[in-house]
Structure 1
Amino acid sequence: MQIPPFSLSKQISLLGDDLNSALLRVLQSGQYIGGEEVNTFEESFAASIGVPHVVGCNSGTDALVLALRALDIGAGDEVITSSFSFFATAEAISAVGAKPIFVEIDPRDYLIDLSQIEKVINSATKAILPVHLFGCPVDMEQLMALAMKNGLKVIEDCAQACGAKWQGRSVGSWGDIGCFSFFPTKNLGAAGDGGCISTQDGQLAQRIRELAIHGMPRRYLHTELGYNSRLDAIQAAVLNVKLPHLANWVKKRDLVAKRYLDALDNLPGVELPSTKSTIHMLHAWNQFVVSVKDISSKDSLSSKLFSHQEMRSSNSPENQNRRDWLKNSLRNHGVNTIIYYPIPIHLQPAYSELGYTSGSLPITERLCSEVLSLPIFPEITFEEQNYVIKVIKNLLA
């Protein structure tokens, strides 16, 4: 049996007729930029997350850049964020000339540690950019109170958390601006790149809309330097077909996650994602990420975990860390997993000039060597997931 970490094939087969009709409708219309499909999606998505304004754009990365520019964040400014995220989170901050300031994450949920934020606030700090990572929402009540106390803007990175909520409110509706990605592997995925910005502020929405079309409030009038970042009509059409299914897909992801949580509880050396705040949040489970702890080969527990043959093999935990051993062993059994993220942003070569060194963020760095994302998507069958669980248990227990 071969189990992918994520699969679109079943989703496409279920929605194929509707997708074909939508794509053909756009192609026959001849309106590939803007138009009815884009307007419909912006209105529908705004209603689904409870905000009055949504502006489509080319990607989640562009959404972050547009958000920062709309808030006049630039050279000399600092933005506090997490180093445990996709590179675009910090890259967008640098793209507008500002400086990313990284703080530690909470090892229980991989989210920015709110208790560490005030320690790095200074006169240059202009905003906080929380990442709702793997579908898990940040405690936005606490974060918004902290931002208000310190006079800071809040830009939510919702790229991995479409469908997630905190205290009944959707991510992207709390901060000054929310930024979404519709990369194909997201909970709500397009057929290529796509993104959007959400906000409660009509003036911000209008400025973002103008920035995304060359700083142009009306045709051939350019009031500031913008650039081209529009959501294609074809991508909007795909999203219009998929959006009505999002809530049900999130429910199915939650069922998959709960089966993992029940079946893999108390496995030695494996820490499951925290569900400490389930009464306050709706987790969207874009990824199901476990932390695989290293166990020294000198530890007597090692002999209980691995057979002599496994311990002698080139793929044994004696020759690589335990997470990598597990990933390779699962692949050998047909179970494909992904590592998010092997190198934290603050240790990426592109950010060497910021002065972070190994040990600057020890929790983040440790987790980068431990995390492993197990297969999760709405269409994974009970039999497929049971096979994943069985293989993991056989390897570790």
Structure 2
Amino acid sequence: MKIDFANLTKAYDEHSAEFEQVSLDVMSSARYILGKETEELETSLREYVKSDYALGVSSGTDALLLSMMALGIRGGDEVITTPFTFIATAETIACLGAKPVFVDIDEETFNIDVSQIEKAITDKTKAIMPVSLYGQMADMDEINAIAAKHNLVVIEDAAQSFGALYKGKRSCSASTIGCTSFFPAKPLGCFGDGGAVFTQDRELYEKMKAMRVHGQVKRYTHKYIGMGGRLDNLQAAILNVKLRHYGKDIERRQQVAKQYTELLKGHVLTPSIKEDRTSVWAQYTIRIKNREELQSKLKEAGIPTAVHYPIPMHLQECFAYLEHKKGDFPISETCASEVMSLPMNPYLTTDEIEYITSNIINSFR
């Protein structure tokens, strides 16, 4: 049996007629940038998240960059985040000349350890950027309380958690700004790059809206230094279709995760989801000490795996100037050496899940 990790082909096939129709509509109208499809998507995203404002942008990375630019984060400032994440989180901070200040993670959820945040705050700290990793939101109430105490803003990096719930609130609605990604392999993915920014602050929204188009407030009149961060209208049209079916996709992902956990419990360390929240399962990530050996066996059986992420940010060469060393963030380092993501998509069948898990269990015999 050969397993597809994300099964993007199936994602297309399931709604191909709808995708093809909306794509033709956009192409025949020649509305390629910021057309009615983008406006429709922003309205739908805002209503889905229950945020006052939503802005479609060119990628999840640009969503993070745009949000920090609008907040005035610049050289000499510090932003607290996690070292156990995709590089875009810390990279965008560094791109603005600010300093990423890392805080280790909670071993069970892989999200930032809130008990360690306050000791990382200095008079240069301007924001906290928690990452809602693998599909589960971070401890947003505690993070927001710390931020309020120190007059900081909170930017949720929700690139992997769009649609997840935290105490009844959707990801992207529980902080000053929420940023997400619509990269094709995300739970809600388009057919290229795309992202969105959410806020309840009208002034901040208007500023980001202008900065998304090079700081332009009217044609050739530029109030801010901005960026070319617009969402392609074709991607917006694709996302309009996918968002209509997204609730079903989340339910199927949760069912796949439930089956994985039931079959693997007691054999490997399975993901832990807190009782007051849900996950959209961007990844189903287990922990295993003999990872490379198991990956090799699974590959032979036609089962793809991935490692999200093998090198924590503080040990990446590009952040050597921060002068961190091995051992500075031990939980992140341990997890980076043990995590392994299994195939995760809404189309995995029970037979496929049983095949994957039986191969994992049998590898220990």
Taking structure 1 as the reference length, what is the TM-score of the superposition? 0.91
1:326 and 2:294 matched = yes
Match of 1:291 among 284, 287, 295: 287
Q: Aligned runs of 1:164-243 on 2, under 5 Å? A: 164-243=164-243
2:92 aligned partner: 92
1:379 aligned partner: 347
1:305 aligned partner: none
Distance 1:193 1:117 in 2: 32
Q: C-alpha displacement at 1:354, in angstroms?
A: 0.2
Distance 1:163 1:225 in 2: 32
SS at match of 2:154: strand
SS at match of 1:34: coil
Q: Aligned runs of 1:26-45 on 2, under 5 Å? A: 26-45=26-45
Distance 1:285 1:177 in 2: 22
Runs of 4+ in 1 over 4 A off after TM superposition: none
Supply the AA of the counterpart residue of 1:148: A
1:24 and 2:21 matched = no
Distance 1:346 1:4 in 2: 32
1:274 aligned partner: 272
1:340 and 2:336 matched = no
Distance 1:129 1:144 in 2: 11
- Write out per-residue CA displacement over residues 276-320 of structure 1, whole angstroms, 9 at most, x where no aligned residue: x12x10111110001103xxxxxxxxxxxxxxxxxxxxxxxxxxx
- Write out per-residue CA displacement over residues 163-203 of structure 1, whole angstroms, 9 at most, x where no aligned residue: 11100101110111110100000011010000110000111
SS at match of 1:346: helix
Structure 1: gaps spanning 5 or more residues: 294-321
2:126 aligned partner: 126
Distance 2:93 2:84 in 1: 15
1:306 aligned partner: none
Distance 1:171 1:14 in 2: 26
Distance 1:35 1:365 in 2: 45
- Write out per-residue CA displacement over residues 28-72 of structure 1, whole angstroms, 9 at most, x where no aligned residue: 111101110000000001100000111111100000000001111
1:78 and 2:78 matched = yes
**Contact 1:60-1:181 within 8 A present in 2 as well:** yes
SS at match of 1:369: helix
Distance 1:176 1:24 in 2: 37
**Contact 1:4-1:337 within 8 A present in 2 as well:** no
Distance 1:21 1:381 in 2: 29
Distance 2:308 2:363 in 1: 21
Q: C-alpha displacement at 1:272, in angstroms?
A: 1.1
Supply the AA of the counterpart residue of 2:272: S
Taking structure 2 as the reference length, what is the TM-score of the superposition? 0.99
Distance 1:129 1:224 in 2: 23
Distance 2:271 2:37 in 1: 38
Larger gyration radius, structure 1 or structure 2: 1
Structure 2: gaps spanning 5 or more residues: none
SS at match of 2:90: helix
Q: C-alpha displacement at 1:335, in angstroms?
A: 0.7
Aligned residues: 365
- Write out per-residue CA displacement over residues 120-153 of structure 1, whole angstroms, 9 at most, x where no aligned residue: 1110111000000000111211111111111110
Distance 1:145 1:244 in 2: 34
Distance 2:86 2:176 in 1: 21
Distance 2:32 2:154 in 1: 33
Q: C-alpha displacement at 1:374, in angstroms?
A: 0.6
